[in-house]
Amino acid sequence: MSEVKKFLYVNRKAPYGTIYALESLEVVLIGAAFDQDVSLAFLDDGVFQLTRNQNTETIGVKNFSPTFRALGDYDVTKLYVERESLAERGLSESDLQEITYEDEDDDWAEKPSIRIVSRAEMADIMADQDVVLSF
């Protein structure tokens, strides 16, 4: 096995209206097969992707928000959400759906995947990556 690289998928757009959010998630799921260190970042309108109780019935597209809860099964367990982006949109952590993963090394204990970070922390997270993919 070659060395593990750190991949960060940056999500900046609202979930519907463009295809970016769904495509990003699909790439994450496909890429997860390659045993890399994968994390996701949500900032700007991207924070809307994780809001709870999404309902797409009247816009005629699939509500793919439940798929974020499957990420733990794919060993994707770090979802960084920028606090300032939430606040600028009148959102808080309680507006986001609960996403957890089961820690295989800790007797399958359920742990939260979403980590709220400040803008400055987000910059550090980005600087720490080998590969940053922007959607």
Partner 1 sequence: MAYQINGHAVEHDEEGYITTLADWSKELAEAIAETENINMTDEHWAVVNFLRDYYEEYQIAPAVRVLIKAIKKEMGPEKGNNKYMYELFPYGPAKQACKIAGLPKPTGCV
Binding residues with partner 1: total (CB under 8 A): 15
* Nearest CB to partner 1, comparing residues 76 and 86: 76
| Residue 114 amino acid letter | I
Instruction: Determine the straight-line distance between the first and last CA of the chain, rounded to whole angstroms.
Output: 28
Rounded CA-CA distance 100/88 in Å is: 25
CB 10 within 8 A of CB 21: no
- Three-class DSSP category at 29: helix
Q: Which span sits near partner 1 by CB under 8 A: 37-45, 63-71, 81-89, 120-128?
A: 63-71
Interacting positions 15-44 with partner 1 (CB under 8 A) = 26, 29-30, 32-33
Residues lying near partner 1 in the complex (CB under 8 A): 26, 29-30, 32-33, 62-64, 66-67, 69-70, 73-74, 108
